[in-house]
Structure 1
Amino acid sequence: MPSLLLLAGDGIGPEIMAATKRVIEFFNAKGAGFDTVEGLVGGCAYDAEGTPFPKSTVEKAEAADAMLLACVGGPKWDDIKEYDMRPEAGLLGLRKHFELFANIRPAISYPALADSSSLKREVVEGLDIIILRELTGGVYFGEPKTIEDIGNGQKRAIDTQVYDTYEIERIARAAFDLARARRGKVTSMEKRNVMKSGILWREVVEATHRQGYEDVTLDHMLADAGAMQLVRDPKQFDVVVTDNLFGDMLSDIAAQLTGSLGMLPSASLGAVDEKTGRRRALYEPVHGSAPDIAGQGIANPIAMITSFGMALKYSFGMIAEADALDAAIADALADGIRTADIAMGGPSVDTMGMTDAILAKLEARL
């Protein structure tokens, strides 16, 4: 029986997770047989257990085939001074503990929503790209990471960007493998002009490309130029591979091209375990916890639901079901069903209304 750990987290998390549970229940009614268990991570875990990354959650995650996480954080916990006690430390802890090094962030423009982007329709219509972000190395995890008093009323903040060859090689291989199943093009982005890590990044990506991936086209671009090109001509890209810091920023830029952060899912994958054949995986929306609308029942659930769709594809091999779910969402949007963030001033439905529409379209397809 496939198992899922559901981590609702903070802010709008419980609302969009409730919507996704309805989709899971739909597939269970069709015979999928998902076994679900719930756990705490982030601010809610800190409130309940005094840590954003409880041991009980780790144990549940170890036993699950995949994890679904909604979102963590919010102003309620802004006064926490200890870095490892902040809600975000729970998310980083999951990524690091399970070595979820490959973060797949698709940016897809649904035809019905092309006009909701801040860019012209012709620039984004048909957009289908992936930002592949290295997730367990780089400046977010490098040491030393500290703020120190250097006297005379001055302080010094230190963050360290660190990458080893194997970290770059494995994310490059993941990029080439993804591109082979798509349009066969990888664009690697770094800052080799000012960063030593960028020099090594390019060297290793090129060396990996020569190890049997010559059928995939490889281009290089400085990350800041890449950010500009994502806005100028996003459809030139297929798979963009980059480090942790730049991936964080570039994926948010790509997300906004689609009209709303509330639309986009992500998958964070680890290596395949040679003994069990399982690949550790965490699926989550790109968006944050949206505390300004939390509790109002109006959040867009699509990114959370499509994160489950990515789990169907990458963790459970349920390709037909994942495709049907994507098509059902497109059908609902084509009928004009919108939450407020994508309604462009027109009529909108709440979280459950959007979910109702998706489930109705899904029922029609399966």
Structure 2
Amino acid sequence: MSNPSLLILAGDGIGAEVMTEVRKVIDWVGTNKGLTFDVSEDLVGGAAYDAHGTPLHDDTMAKAQEVDAVLLGAVGGPAYDDLDFSVKPERGLLRLRKEMDLFANLRPAQCFDALADFSSLKRDIVSGLDIMIVRELTSGSYFGEPRGIHIEDNQRVGINTQRYTEAEIDRVARSAFELARRRGNKVCSMEKANVMESGILWRDVVTELHAADYADVELSHMYADNGAMQLVRAPKQFDVILTDNLFGDILSDCAAMLTGSLGMLPSASLGAPMANGRPKALYEPVHGSAPDIAGQGKANPSACILSFAMALRYSFDQGDLATQLEAAVEKVLADGTRTGDLMQASDGTPATTTEMGDAVIAELAAF
């Protein structure tokens, strides 16, 4: 059998730095676990615009469609702020999501015990937190038509359309239910069925699917605004949260801050199975390109490393190895090796990006 394939798109800002540490982990896995990947690299975002005048070259898009998984670092930066909207770095990422049809975005919010005091909430509220937000990623108000800015009655009118089909809701709900079966077996579906017809359809489809195929999973419904409140009131009541594109964007960022640092949060965007049974997949850290610290060795590679752990679990059926990698990151934090974003002013000298990556490799070797 051929080796599983990975396309690495480091992108902009700190993307290259954190991805260097992921490459170390990939190489270690190949040498010590017998899991060798065929790795290729290409450009996305501002780096691709600088080279090709577009945030994602057609050839790169074709590669992404062919590999088993894509690992992405970060895109964007102030150097590209004045570009036309159509060629901004972020459009490269959006094109990947859309053309790969990555309809299920998985955003874990896990609070490692060593970082519980970094959350803006009290330790007892977030300690042990482990929830997953499943966000529909390719439809809804970000893609619905009609859209745009128009002139009506001599004034500008901005239009975005919230649109969902039954099939779009069904497939992302299935992802959430399947995921819940591997976790705490609970799904809370969030929408605004009280004021939005799309929310009514969302609730109906999720309820029907649950009754037909997933009655063994506990299902609850919640209005998304109440969900935001509950996330900061009692987040540990949730296991898997299922929601649409717009609400998922907001709720996942809200949940991210419960954990203490954006530098710790991975994500996965999954699509339909390919011929080999693996899903179309893109894995990326939640943090941005952080141009203010790029090239200084200050970036935290943990989220990117944990994104690779998600790839091991969801694309390559290596759940035990993914758990080991996650445990290695947690052990490094508990032992006090941390980049500056995870330290108080009195905690001493922060680890560099390279030192953080090396520490994770050392912990992996100890298993």
Give the SS at the match of 1:299: coil
- Verify: 1:176 aligned to 2:167, yes or no: no
Equivalent of residue 82 in structure 2, options 73, 79, 98? 79
- Verify: 1:302 aligned to 2:302, yes or no: yes
Q: How does 1:28-47 map to 2 (within 5 A)?
A: 28-30=30-32, 31-47=34-50
Residue in 1 aligned with 2:355? 353
Residue in 2 aligned with 1:148? 150
Amino acid at match of 1:226: G
In structure 2, what is the Cα distance between the partners aligned to 1:86 and 1:245? 20
- Verify: 1:26 aligned to 2:39, yes or no: no
Residue in 1 aligned with 2:120? 118
Q: How does 1:48-197 map to 2 (within 5 A)?
A: 48-81=51-84, 83-150=85-152, 152=154, 154-197=155-198
Residue in 2 aligned with 1:214? 215
Cα deviation, 1:261-314, whole Å, max 9, x if unaligned, reads 1101011111113x4323110001111111221221101110000000111111
Amino acid at match of 1:155: R
Give the SS at the match of 1:99: coil
1:44 Cα shift?
1.1
Contact persistence 1:39–1:60 (CA under 8 A): no
1:212 Cα shift?
2.1
In structure 1, what is the Cα distance between the partners aligned to 2:97 and 2:327? 30
Contact persistence 1:3–1:35 (CA under 8 A): yes
Using structure 2 for the length normalisation, give the TM-score.
0.96
Amino acid at match of 1:167: E
Amino acid at match of 2:120: S
1:344 Cα shift?
2.5
1:151 Cα shift?
6.0
Amino acid at match of 2:333: L
Using structure 1 for the length normalisation, give the TM-score.
0.96
Residues 200 and 266 of structure 1: CA distance in aligned 2, closer, same or farther (over 3 Å): same
In structure 2, what is the Cα distance between the partners aligned to 1:95 and 1:69? 12
- Verify: 1:278 aligned to 2:281, yes or no: no
1:71 Cα shift?
1.1
Amino acid at match of 1:268: S
Contact persistence 2:76–2:89 (CA under 8 A): yes
In structure 2, what is the Cα distance between the partners aligned to 1:195 and 1:101? 21
Cα deviation, 1:67-99, whole Å, max 9, x if unaligned, reads 000111122111112x32111111111111111
Amino acid at match of 1:140: Y
1:29 Cα shift?
1.4
The percent of aligned pairs where both chains have the same amino acid is 60
In structure 2, what is the Cα distance between the partners aligned to 1:339 and 1:276? 39
In structure 2, what is the Cα distance between the partners aligned to 1:38 and 1:174? 29
Amino acid at match of 2:23: K
Contact persistence 1:129–1:239 (CA under 8 A): yes
Cα deviation, 1:130-163, whole Å, max 9, x if unaligned, reads 00000111111111221223464x3221111110
Cα deviation, 1:174-215, whole Å, max 9, x if unaligned, reads 111111111111000111222211111111111111112111
Amino acid at match of 1:320: D
Give the SS at the match of 2:212: coil
Give the SS at the match of 2:295: coil
Aligned pair count reads 362
Give the SS at the match of 1:41: coil
1:244 Cα shift?
0.6
In structure 1, what is the Cα distance between the partners aligned to 2:65 and 2:172? 23
In structure 2, what is the Cα distance between the partners aligned to 1:349 and 1:278? 36
Contact persistence 2:136–2:248 (CA under 8 A): yes
Answer with 53-62 or 247-256: which moved more: 53-62
In structure 2, what is the Cα distance between the partners aligned to 1:84 and 1:200? 32
Cα deviation, 1:32-86, whole Å, max 9, x if unaligned, reads 11111001111111111111121111122122110000111122111112x3211
Q: What RMSD over aligned residues (CA atoms) do the two structures have, in Å?
A: 1.2
Contact persistence 1:104–1:266 (CA under 8 A): yes
Give the SS at the match of 1:145: strand
Cα deviation, 1:309-334, whole Å, max 9, x if unaligned, reads 11111111112211110111111111
In structure 2, what is the Cα distance between the partners aligned to 1:350 and 1:149? 52
In structure 2, what is the Cα distance between the partners aligned to 1:261 and 1:185? 25
Residue in 1 aligned with 2:266? 265
Contact persistence 1:116–1:344 (CA under 8 A): no
Give the SS at the match of 1:284: strand
Residue in 1 aligned with 2:4? 2
Give the SS at the match of 1:179: helix
Contact persistence 2:278–2:316 (CA under 8 A): no
In structure 1, what is the Cα distance between the partners aligned to 2:245 and 2:79? 26
Give the SS at the match of 1:199: helix
